[in-house]
C-alpha cells in the first residue's frame, strides 16, 4: 500500500479540525462575518502525502475569518492510505477488489475522498459498485510515476542522466543474463505499482514473439521482488556504497516522483535517480471525490473546499510536499529530480477547473492487469470443468464465428499460461451421459502443473462439444466432492465451472437435492470455493447463485462469449486468500 516516508508530515495531518464555510471561496471575504454559530462536520480522507497541503490550506482559510450565513463548518482532514479507504467503500457498496481484502471493522467512509489515483474510483465501479458515482472527481495534484534506480546503477545500466530510457529498455535489463533486481509494491494495493505494472506488461506484450510468454515472464520477474508495504520496498535499496551491496540491493522499482524526492531528502548513502520512462506511465492524479449520499449542506461545503484547492496558492503548498499541480507544473520551492520534465515550459498557472482526473484510463486494461497479476502471484488447487453440451457448438459472431467451446478453451489456455508450477490443476468435461449414465468425464486428474502442464494443454485441445444436454447438478456435486476429498491446507481449493445453459438432465438429482448435499458436505475447516462462469443468454443466473450461496465463491455471467477470457481471469483473481 502507499505510505509516505515523511512520517512527520503524515502525522501532522492525521487528524486536523479546522473551521471553514459553506459558501464560495472567491466571495468569502465579502461575506465574512465576525462570528458563526452551529456546525456542519465535513470529513475528508486524503492520501498521506497530500493531506498536509489540504490541512494547511483549510487552516489558513479559518485564520482569514471565513464564514457564510452564520454557519460554521468543521473539516476533519485525515491522512488515510488509499487502499484502506477503498476497502471501506467497497464494503459499503458491495464491490469486490482483487487483492484489497476486507475493510477493518472500524472503517468509516468519509464525505470527501482524495485517493492518490483515479484508478481506485475506476476499480470500484468495475468491481461491482454499480451505484458508486462520486461527484466532482477532478484532479487537485499530480506526481509522475517514475522508475527509481540507485544512481550508480542508473549510470552504468541505463546511461542516466543523458540517455532517454524506454520500458523496453527496462524489460531487457530485468530479463538479461545479469538481471537488475526489480521490485514493486503490491499493485493490487498500490497505485504507483499498478501504473508500473501496466507499462511493463504493455512493453512485454508489444516486444514481438510470444506476447503472453513475455508478459508472464515480466509478471513473475516483478513478483519475485514485490513488497506489501512501500517502506519495506524502500528499505531494500542499497544502504552502502560497497559494490557488493549495490549489486545485491534493489535495482529498480516503480515509485512516484514524490517518493523519490522524499527518499533522497533523508540523505541516503546512495541517492535514487528518477527515470522518466517512455511512453510515460499513468501518473498519480489525486482526484477530489465527493462520495455519494452526503447531505446537501456537506455537499455545499465540499464544493467550497474544492475551490480553495484550485487557487494558485495551493500549488505552493503542494510544492512543499514534493507534489505538482494538476497540469504537471510545480509551485515555488519544488526541488525536481534531475531530468524531471516540466510541461508547458514551466508556466506557473493552474487550470481553473483544477485539472481532469481519470482521463484516458482503460478499465478493461486495468482490470486485466490486476487479474493477471493476482493469478501469476498466487497459488492454488483447482478443478476446471467445461460444458461440452450440444449448445457449445454455437458460433460466436464477436469471436470470428469460433464456437462457444473454442472460445472457452482459449480462455482456459490463456489462464493456464499465467499459472506457475506451484498450482495443482485438473480438467473435466460434462454434458449428459458421457460415460454410461455419468454426466462428466475426467480428462486430467488434479495434479501439480510442474509435472502435467503438457497433459493439460493436450486435454484442452481435445475438448469437443457432444450431442448431449447440460447435466449441471450431478456434475457440480461430483466435482465438489472430488476437490474436497483431497483438500490441501494453505491453498485455495476450488471448482471453476464453465457452462452456457441450465440443468436439463431429467435423470439426475434435483436442485433441492444438490443444495441439500452441498450444505451437508460443507466443512468450514476444508472450504471449497465454487466459481461458475455462465456464457450466453441460456444461463439461469438464479440457479447459479443458489449454488455459490451455499459453497462460497461466486458466479460471473456474460451475454457475450467473446469476453469469457477476461471474466475467467477476474473470477480467479477474486477468490479469497487461503485459510491459515
What fold does the segment set 145-275 form as a domain?
D-Maltodextrin-Binding Protein; domain 2 (3.40.190)
Say if residue 279 is preceded by a cis peptide, omega within 30 of 0: yes
| Ramachandran angles phi, psi of 256, nearest 5° | -85, 155
CB 254 within 8 A of CB 197: yes
CB 49 within 8 A of CB 84: no
Given this model, what pLDDT does residue 545 score?
94
Domain 378-573 -> CATH class = alpha beta
CB 78 within 8 A of CB 43: yes
Given this model, what pLDDT does residue 224 score?
82
Instruction: Spell out the per-residue pLDDT of the chain, length 580, in tens.
Output: 555 454 444 444 444 444 443 333 343 333 344 467 777 788 999 999 999 999 999 887 766 655 555 667 788 899 999 999 999 999 888 888 888 877 776 667 999 999 999 999 999 998 887 778 899 999 999 999 999 999 999 999 999 999 999 999 999 998 888 889 999 999 999 999 999 999 998 888 877 667 777 787 788 878 888 899 999 999 999 999 998 888 889 999 999 999 999 999 999 999 999 999 999 999 999 999 999 989 888 888 898 899 999 999 999 999 999 999 999 999 999 999 999 987 644 433 333 333 334 446 788 889 888 888 888 788 889 999 999 999 999 999 888 999 999 999 999 998 888 888 889 999 999 999 999 999 999 999 999 999 999 999 999 999 999 999 999 999 999 999 999 999 999 888 999 999 998 999 989 999 999 999 999 999 999 999 999 999 988 899 999 999 999 999 889 998 888 888 888 888 887 766 554 4
- The full DSSP string for 127-153 is TT-TT---EEEEES-BB-EEEEEEHHH
Given this model, what pLDDT does residue 75 score?
86
pLDDT in tens, 484-531: 999 999 888 999 999 998 999 989 999 999 999 999 999 999 999 999
Same fold? 7-141+286-357, 378-573: no
State the SS3 of 498-537: EECCCCCCCCCCCHHHHHHHHHHHCCCCCCCEEEEEEECC
Given this model, what pLDDT does residue 206 score?
79
pLDDT in tens, 191-229: 999 999 999 988 888 776 677 777 877 888 788 888 999
Closest to 53 measured CA to CA, from 29, 79, 27, 26: 79
Given this model, what pLDDT does residue 213 score?
76
The superfamily CATH assigns to domain 7-141+286-357 is Periplasmic binding protein-like II (3.40.190.10)
Q: Say whether 564 sits in a helix, a strand or coil.
A: helix
Angle at 145 between CA 185 and CA 350, to 5 degrees: 135
CB 399 within 8 A of CB 562: yes
Residue whose grid cell is 503472453:
212
Given this model, what pLDDT does residue 31 score?
38
Closest to 149 measured CA to CA, from 276, 266, 54: 276
CB 110 within 8 A of CB 85: yes
| CA 335 from centre of chain | 30
Would you report the helix, strand and coil content of the chain in percent, each value rounded to 5? 40, 20, 40
The C-alpha R_g of the chain, in whole angstroms, comes to 27
CB 87 within 8 A of CB 101: yes
The C-alpha atoms of residue 474 and residue 513 are separated, in whole angstroms, by: 10
Provide the H-helix boundaries in 35-180.
51-63, 82-93, 119-126, 151-158, 167-174
Domain-wise residue ranges, the chain: 7-141+286-357, 145-275, 378-573
In this structure, what C-alpha cell is assigned to residue 221?
520477474
In this structure, what C-alpha cell is assigned to residue 262?
522524499
Amino acid at each position: 500500500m502507499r505510505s509516505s516516508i515523511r512520517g512527520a508530515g503524515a502525522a501532522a495531518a492525521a487528524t486536523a479540525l479546522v473551521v471553514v464555510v459553506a459558501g464560495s471561496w472567491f466571495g468569502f471575504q465579502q461575506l465574512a462575518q465576525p462570528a458563526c454559530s452551529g456546525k456542519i462536520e465535513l470529513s475528508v480522507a486524503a492520501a498521506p502525502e497530500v493531506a498536509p497541503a489540504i490541512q494547511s490550506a483549510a487552516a489558513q482559510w479559518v485564520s482569514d475569518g471565513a464564514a457564510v450565513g452564520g454557519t460554521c463548518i468543521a473539516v476533519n482532514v485525515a491522512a488515510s492510505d488509499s487502499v484502506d479507504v477503498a476497502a471501506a467503500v467497497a464494503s459499503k457498496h458491495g464491490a469486490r477488489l482483487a487483492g484489497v481484502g476486507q475493510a477493518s471493522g472500524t472503517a468509516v467512509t468519509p464525505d470527501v475522498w482524495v485517493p492518490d489515483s483515479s484508478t481506485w474510483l475506476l476499480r470500484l465501479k468495475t468491481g461491482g459498485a454499480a451505484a458508486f458515482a462520486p461527484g466532482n472527481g477532478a484532479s487537485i495534484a499530480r506526481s509522475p510515476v517514475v522508475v527509481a534506480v540507485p544512481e550508480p546503477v542508473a549510470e552504468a545500466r541505463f546511461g542516466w542522466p543523458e540517455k532517454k530510457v524506454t520500458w523496453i529498455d527496462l524489460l531487457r535489463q530485468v530479463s538479461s543474463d545479469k538481471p537488475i533486481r526489480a521490485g514493486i509494491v503490491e499493485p493490487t494495493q498500490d497505485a504507483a505499482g499498478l501504473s508500473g505494472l501496466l507499462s511493463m506488461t504493455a512493453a512485454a506484450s508489444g516486444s514481438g514473439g510470444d506476447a503472453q510468454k513475455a508478459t508472464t515472464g515480466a509478471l513473475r520477474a516483478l513478483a519475485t521482488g514485490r513488497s506489501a508495504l512501500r517502506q519495506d520496498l524502500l528499505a531494500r535499496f542499497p544502504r552502502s556504497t560497497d559494490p557488493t551491496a549495490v549489486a545485491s540491493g534493489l535495482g529498480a522499482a516503480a515509485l512516484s516522483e514524490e517518493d523519490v524526492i522524499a527518499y533522497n531528502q533523508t540523505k541516503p548513502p546512495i541517492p535514487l535517480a528518477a527515470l522518466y520512462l517512455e511512453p510515460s506511465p499513468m501518473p498519480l492524479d489525486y482526484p477530489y471525490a465527493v462520495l455519494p449520499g452526503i447531505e446537501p449542506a456537506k455537499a455545499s461545503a465540499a464544493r467550497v473546499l474544492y475551490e480553495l484547492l484550485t487557487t494558485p496558492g495551493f500549488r505552493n503548498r503542494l510544492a512543499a510536499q514534493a507534489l505538482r499541480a494538476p497540469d504537471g507544473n510545480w509551485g515555488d520551492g519544488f526541488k525536481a529530480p534531475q531530468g524531471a520534465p516540466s510541461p508547458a515550459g514551466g508556466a506557473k498557472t493552474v487550470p481553473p477547473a483544477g485539472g481532469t482526473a481519470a482521463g484516458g484510463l482503460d478499465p478493461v486494461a486495468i482490470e486485466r492487469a490486476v487479474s493477471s497479476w493476482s493469478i501469476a502471484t498466487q497459488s492454488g488447487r483447482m478443478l476446471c470443468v467445461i460444458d461440452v453440451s450440444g449448445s457449445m457448438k454455437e458460433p460466436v459472431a464477436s469471436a470470428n464465428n469460433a464456437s462457444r467451446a473454442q472460445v472457452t478453451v482459449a480462455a482456459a489456455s490463456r489462464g493456464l499460461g499465467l499459472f506457475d508450477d506451484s498450482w495443482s490443476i485438473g480438467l473435466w468435461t460434462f454434458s449428459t451421459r458421457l460415460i454410461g449414465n455419468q454426466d462428466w468425464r475426467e480428462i486430467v486428474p488434479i495434479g501439480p502443473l510442474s509435472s502435467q502442464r503438457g497433459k493439460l494443454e493436450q486435454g484442452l485441445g481435445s475438448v469437443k462439444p457432444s450431442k448431449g444436454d447440460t447435466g449441471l447438478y450431478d456434475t457440480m456435486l461430483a466435482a465438489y466432492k472430488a476437490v474436497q476429498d483431497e483438500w490441501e491446507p494453505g491453498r485455495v481449493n476450488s471448482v471453476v465451472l464453465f457452462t452456457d445453459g441450465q440443468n436439463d438432465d431429467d435423470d439426475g438429482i434435483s436442485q433441492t437435492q444438490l443444495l441439500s448435499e452441498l450444505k451437508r458436505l460443507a466443512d468450514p475447516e476444508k472450504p471449497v470455493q465454487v466459481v461458475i462462469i455462465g456464457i450466453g443468454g441460456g444461463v439461469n443466473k438464479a440457479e447459479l447463485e443458489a449454488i455459490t450461496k451455499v459453497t462460497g465463491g461466486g458466479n460471473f455471467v456474460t451475454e457475450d462469449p467473446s469476453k469469457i477470457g477476461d471474466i475467467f481471469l477476474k473470477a480467479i483473481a477474486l477468490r479469497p486468500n487461503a485459510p491459515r
